Amino acid sequence: MSEITVVIPNYNGMKYLAECMTSLCREQQNAPGYEVLIIDNASVDGSVEYLQKEWCGEGVRLISLPENTGFCHAVNLGIREAKTPYVILLNNDTKAEAGFVRGLYDAIRENEKIFSVSAKMLMWDRPELIDDAGDRYCVLGWAYSRGKGRPAADYDKSVPVFSACGGAAIYRRSVFEEIGYFDEEHFAYLEDLDIGYRARIYGYENRYEPKAAVLHYGSASTGSRYNPRKTLLASANSIYVIGKNMPLLQCILNLPFFLLGFGIKFLFFCKKRMGKLYLKGLAAGLKRSVGTTGRQHKVPFRWHHLGNYVKIQWQLYCNVFRILMKS
């Protein structure tokens, strides 16, 4: 009986699928029972035909959507379709190393309060360097990848993280029923931060596990690390994450830090000639947060969660110092 469903959202990822599927379906050692579910977001590059011909069958299933509904809708569909206790989300532009499935499975079963476990993501062209070792979030309103561009050998210890990177992580499926699923208003970007943040409010933990490793190409769907579409979506979502997860008093407390953080980011994007686009995204995120959508998706404040909010605030401060210390 399967213990895990590996959900792979795909959008025009034809050139990555062969290595991704081979590494996942044929190169996992001593893995628990698992099945693979691919959610295709209306690809037009031959992905669907390739998957149907080469991979669909026992243990591998494909759901082909008629239009691109975004990352969040695709993974939510996969999670709801899964009948297993655990779900692994895996980007199509990855190559899983041997032991990937087993490493994540063993890590999440260590404690029932663990909601998610992030894998060790390595740069595709320089696998000696980290692409992501779990995600952090700080009081400046910045979400960032832990260890980005640093030696992978320095990240061989399992540690708590603010949230798991949804590009290669395992989740406890039952918790989604308690805290809700990925917020589809994000469409893409920072949705993994949001769900990890929400889990922390409810008292769950997110961790990083180096025994589970993948090579990651990065920004495969959008074409580059910084591009207009990504800038617009990510900046809007950076405001939306704050609006929906922080109580008003916490927002006021952190406002000076947010102004500083977003101001620095604005100057950064000005240098890339996308300053106006960045501001447009911030405005869209603010409008969404204070509008009907924001009110509907707002995480309700509960007094019994107060201790969790205090712990989160402390992490927001600590992660600024980690940026400065480059740790």
Q: Are residues 98 and 235 in the same domain?
A: no
pLDDT per position as a tens digit, 209-254: 999 999 999 754 444 678 999 999 999 999 999 999 999 999 999 9
Considering the domain architecture, whether residues 317 and 193 belong to the same structural domain is answered as no
Query: What's the confidence (pLDDT) of residue 224?
Result: 60
pLDDT for res 324:
86
Average the pLDDT over 100-117 and give the result. Answer: 98
Choose the weakest-confidence range: 70-79, 216-225, 253-262.
216-225
pTM above 0.75, yes or no: yes
Residue among 94, 144, 138 at smallest CA distance from 120: 94
CA angle 281, 182, 64 (to 5 degrees): 100
Residue 26 or 106, more confident: 106
CA distances from 43 to 9, 16, 46 (A): 11, 13, 7
Same-domain check for residues 244 and 321: yes
pLDDT digits (tens, 9 = 90+) for 291-301: 999 999 999 99
User: Where a domain ends, among 196, 216, 236?
Assistant: 216
Does 237 share its domain with 136? no
Type of residue found at 278: Y
- The answer on pLDDT for 1 being more than 90 is no
Q: Give the pLDDT mean for 65-74.
A: 94
**pLDDT at res. 49:** 97
Domain membership flag for residue 84: yes
Q: Would you say residue 47 lies in a domain?
A: yes
The amino acid present at 269, given as its one-letter code, is F
User: CA–CA separation, 267 vs 264, rounded Å?
Assistant: 5
**Residue 215 region, left (φ>0) first, then alpha (ψ -120 to 50), else beta?**
beta
Return the CATH number at 148: 3.90.550.10
Last residue of a domain, one of 157, 183, 216: 216
Task: For residue 241, give its domain range.
Answer: 228-303+310-325
- Residue closest to 59 by CA, chosen among 87, 92, 29, 37: 37
User: How do residues 37-64 score in pLDDT, each as one tens digit?
Assistant: 999 999 999 999 999 999 999 899 999 9
Are 59 and 128 contained in the same domain? yes
Within a domain: residue 223? no
The answer on 246 and 316 residing in a single domain is: yes
Percentage of the residues of the chain whose pLDDT score is greater than 70: 98
Q: What is the pLDDT of residue 220?
A: 44
Residue 21 sits in the same domain as residue 48: yes
130 plus 254 within the same structural domain: no
Pairwise pLDDT comparison (192 vs 29), residue with the higher score: 192
DSSP string covering 205-241: EEEEEEEEEEEE--STTTSSSS-HHHHHHHHHHHHHH
Residue 188 is predicted with a pLDDT of: 86
What is the maximum alpha-carbon separation in the chain? 56
Shared domain check, 238 and 203 = no
pLDDT: which is higher, 237 or 325: 237
- Cα 86 to Cα 151: distance, rounded to the nearest angstrom: 30
In a domain, 221, yes or no: no
- What whole-number distance in Å separates Cα of residue 122 and Cα of residue 129? 6
Q: What rounded mean pLDDT belongs to the chain? A: 95
**Tens-place pLDDT, residues 138-193:** 999 999 999 999 999 999 999 999 999 999 999 999 999 999 999 999 988 999 99
Same domain, 203 and 275: no
Which residues make Cβ contacts (< 8 Å) with residue 326, sequence separation at least 6?
none
What is the three-class DSSP state of 24? Answer: helix
Q: How many domains does the chain have?
A: 2
Last residue of a domain, one of 166, 190, 216: 216
List C-alpha distances in Å: 91 to 3, 193, 214, 254, 297. Answer: 20, 16, 10, 33, 26
At residue 240's C-alpha, the angle toward residues 239 and 243, to 5°, is: 90
Single-letter residue type at 143? A
Domain assignment present for residue 298? The answer is: yes
